Amino acid sequence: MKTNTAKKRISRYQRTSLAPRMRLTERDKQVVCAVYEHRLLRRDQIERLFFTQASTCNQRLMRLYQHGYLDRIFRPVSFGSSQAVYALDKNGADLVAQELGMDRNKINWKRKNNKVETLFMEHTLAINDCFVNLVLSIRESPSIDLLFWEHESKELQDRVPDTEGKQKYLTIAPDAFFAIRLSEGKSFFFLEVDMGTMTLTRFRKKIIAYRQFWKTGKYRAKFGFSSFRVLIIATSSRRLENLEAVTREAGGRGMFIFSEISLLIFKS
């Protein structure tokens, strides 16, 4: 009689006692800390940052999920299956606290944080596409250094007077703030990822707010640097054209840089 020795396939969607044992590697720890830092990361984003082979990436992510370091979220699709999105889980939060030398209670994570709306998820992943492409581009350019990358936070927010008088203040709330060092010096950027849900009227106010942020010198007092640019990422070429037209009409030119999400994802 033949014995069936085939291993049972492990589900993508739930944990099982059949999961293989694991020993955490330094790369595993880096992956978990990166997921904590960026809130949500797709499988391909993790692969591009930390792995050279998809099979190895899949194996390590499976173990990190099965052993409670990472959680898996699947975006709704019309047919087929979607690529996994990874978020922190309980054992991962414990590990992050250990790696950062912080009290566990100060780790900004709760299980409810993993339940997010689709638009929030897509926006967060688009911001992280920007980060991944920036990191990979810099890896190929020894003369460029990433000095820092900060995600959206209350510390980055500010407000400036509305020069058109329609409201008292206009808000500055970038999706990220980062700086790179080139041979000619340091360059500072605010990132705005547009998902096509904001009206052009509201977008115009965003442009005016950044111009006022520069004109009033509030950015210098807050951050201590002399100039900045705003990188604006759009969802399509048509949306990009509309945003550029509004920016020109509002008097914004050299301060603003535009790109499509699709170009940013596939071209470093």
- Residue 8, number of CB atoms within 10 A of its CB: 7
The answer to whether residues 71 and 90 touch, using CB atoms and an 8 Å cutoff, is: no
On the question of pLDDT at 183 being above 50, the answer is yes
Distance CA 22, CA 242 (A): 51
Residue 106 DSSP symbol: G
pLDDT of residue 4: 47
pLDDT of residue 1: 45
On the question of pLDDT at 123 being above 90, the answer is yes
Distance CA 42, CA 86 (A): 6
pLDDT > 70: percent of the chain: 90
Distance CA 34, CA 99 (A): 12
Mean pLDDT of 105-129: 92
| Helix%, strand%, coil% for the chain, nearest 5 | 45, 20, 35
On the question of pLDDT at 213 being above 70, the answer is yes
On the question of pLDDT at 68 being above 90, the answer is yes
On the question of pLDDT at 66 being above 90, the answer is yes
- Residue 15, number of CB atoms within 10 A of its CB: 14
On the question of pLDDT at 77 being above 60, the answer is yes
Mean pLDDT of 48-74: 95
pLDDT of residue 257: 93
| Domains of the chain by start residue, with CATH | 26-116 (1.10.10.10), 120-266 (no CATH)
Ordered strands of the 176-182 beta sheet? 145-151, 176-182, 185-193, 229-234, 256-260
DSSP three-state, residue 130: helix
11-15, 47-51, 54-58: least confidently modelled range: 11-15
pLDDT of residue 103: 94
User: How do strand 229-234 and strand 185-193 relate by DSSP bridges?
Assistant: parallel
On the question of pLDDT at 261 being above 70, the answer is yes
On the question of pLDDT at 202 being above 90, the answer is yes
The answer to whether residues 243 and 237 touch, using CB atoms and an 8 Å cutoff, is: no
Distance CA 251, CA 228 (A): 16
pLDDT of residue 78: 55
Q: Tell me the H-state helices in 67-102.
A: 90-100
pLDDT of residue 142: 83
Q: What is the pTM assigned to this prediction?
A: 0.88
Strands of 132-253, DSSP E: 145-151, 158-161, 169-172, 176-182, 185-193, 229-234
pLDDT of residue 13: 62
What would the two tokens of residue 17 be?
């006692």
2-16, 98-112, 141-155: least confidently modelled range: 2-16
